Chain A
Amino acid sequence: KQEVTQIPAALSVPEGENLVLNCSFTDSAIYNLQWFRQDPGKGLTSLLLIQSSQREQTSGRLNASLDKSSGRSTLYIAASQPGDSATYLCAVRRGSQGNLIFGKGTKLSVKP
């Protein structure tokens, strides 16, 4: 059974810091991995999608890497801003069914 773990559960940093969020999964046979952002009480915003054949994806200040063999992904946020404060969720796509298996998220707080 696929399990997704995100560490740390919560993170507080001063504005301007570069930071790394971690995601690990137990079954390396994934189709892809998707990083989301969720603001309190809101829906999910897709940040980056990494296919199983890819090593990394970049969008603006965000960079996500994938090491399928070790069951790990990292989300790197450069020059953090207070507007980055949110919960970040990673989810892996389980088999050909397309179902997403989510981690519990990392709650990020960026202090001005």
Chain B
Amino acid sequence: DTEVTQTPKHLVMGMTNKKSLKCEQHMGHRAMYWYKQKAKKPPELMFVYSYEKLSINESVPSRFSPECPNSSLLNLHLHALQPEDSALYLCASSHGRTGIYEQYFGPGTRLTVT
């Protein structure tokens, strides 16, 4: 099973809402990633977790809060977002965080902030 799943597929939220994105993999991968992709742009790395610990935060605003409750699950908590945060949020995982491992991506969550 080489699948990364993400829920929900679509999310519309107001600027005062609190919501969460969920990502799950059952490949035994120990590294998980959040990317943000704006329309017609390549994905941009937000966070990296390695062995359930945050190892990289690419200077992401605090209104995005990642969480890795266990090795299979990655959450992204959203609060007080801005309309410019509307994008496709992609989760990925790899066997390890070092450079040799292939990353597998989920289908993404399309987020619209109104």
Contacts and interface: CB of A to CB of B under 8 A. Distances in A.
Interface string A70-106: 0000000000000000000101011111111011110
A42 B101 CA distance: 22
Interface string A54-78: 0000000000000000000000000
Q: How many B residues touch the partner, as a band?
A: 20 to 34
Contact of B105 (A44, A49, A98, A99): A44
A102 B106 contact: no
A36 B48 contact: no
Interface of B: 4, 6, 31, 41-43, 45, 48, 56, 88, 90, 92, 94, 96-108, 110
7 closest A-B pairs by beta carbon, nearest first, are A31-B99, A102-B42, A44-B105, A43-B107, A93-B99, A43-B108, A49-B102
